[in-house]
Amino acid sequence: MAERLKITVVRREACSDLIRRYVPHGEDPRLHTPCGRFSDGQTFVVSPCEMPQGFCSWAWADIQRHAVWVALHGVQPGHRQPGTAVVCCTDGLYPVFFRLELIDDES
Amino acid sequence: MAWRPREGQDDRLCAAGKGEDMSGVRIRITVVKKLECPELAADYAVGSVWGACPHHQVGDVYEVSGEASYPKPDGLCAWAWADLHRAVTTLRYGADQRPKLPPGTMIVCCTDGRRPVVFAVERLEEGGSG
């Protein structure tokens, strides 16, 4: 069975206090919704080290090295389950959180 | 050529583009928020990584300037520095995210999804505290 990297969107956040503090017109309620590039629970399954089609290129730039560590069988300290990692993109106002897992391809 | 100085763009940065000294550009990094993800930590974190990051406190301030390679400021988490470095360089080179954010400001978090720390990265005005 081939190994695959599974990426799951596990959380999306809008940091309202920071949006009000830093973003021009930060009181506008339309600015207080999480990132629209992803949806909660969305999954991507790809060959290890491959960028998923349709993935946000900014987010991929942020998490790519973490994805490589998982894809190449690294074990990140502090994670309960070897072969997983929980990471987020670096958008401090609208961060999106991803679970990375190395899985067996069942297809 | 599409590049031209934006209205109000820092003169020092335009000068730097011509190969002039840009060592006077100062970037301030401030810890503005610590996120906690208990629902994720319960599944994925062990030991001390429950709860918010212990390395930084809201209000911690760091500044970088001078040397061309911008070494990591003392006390700043090395992992966070790796995540922040692009934003620091973006501002240093005079780019910014206007109009989404005020000129010279970026809000960036580290990539530790269990307990990310959010930083304000700001280019300081010449001679001022920002």
Q: Which residues of B touch A10 (CB under 8 A)?
A: 40, 113
**Cα–Cα distance measured from residue B63 to residue A96, given in angstroms and rounded to the nearest whole number:** 27
What six digits make up the tokens of A61? Answer: 């730039």
Residue with tokens 């109009």: B99
Model confidence band, residue A81 (pLDDT cutoffs 50, 70, 90):
confident
Q: Does A102 reach chain B within 8 Å, measured CB to CB?
A: no
pLDDT over 80 (residue B49): no
At A12-43, the pLDDT tens digits run 999 999 999 999 999 999 999 999 999 999 99
Question: Minimal Cα–Cα distance from A22 to chain B, Å?
Answer: 7
**Cα–Cα distance measured from residue B88 to residue B86, given in angstroms and rounded to the nearest whole number:** 5
Between CA B39 and CA B42, with CA B41 as vertex, the angle to 5 degrees is 70
At B52-80, the pLDDT tens digits run 999 999 999 999 987 777 889 999 999 99
**Cα–Cα distance measured from residue A78 to residue A61, given in angstroms and rounded to the nearest whole number:** 23
Which residue ranges make up each domain of chain A? 3-104
Residue B54: per-residue pLDDT: 92
Model confidence band, residue B4 (pLDDT cutoffs 50, 70, 90):
confident
Q: Which residues of A touch B48 (CB under 8 A)?
A: 78
pLDDT over 70 (residue B21): no
Give phi and psi for A79, each to the nearest 5: -105, 130
Q: What is the CA radius of gyration of chain B?
A: 17
Q: Which residues of B touch A22 (CB under 8 A)?
A: 101-102, 105, 107, 120
Residue B18: per-residue pLDDT: 56
Cβ-nearest to B99 among A24, A63, A92: A24
Average pLDDT, chain A: 93
pLDDT over 90 (residue B112): yes
Test B114 with A78 for CB contact under 8 angstroms: yes
Here the ipTM equals 0.94
At A79 the three-state DSSP class reads strand
Cβ-nearest to B40 among A11, A63, A91: A11
Question: Minimal Cα–Cα distance from B108 to chain A, Å?
Answer: 4
Is B18 in contact with B112 (CB distance < 8 Å)?
Answer: no
pTM: 0.90
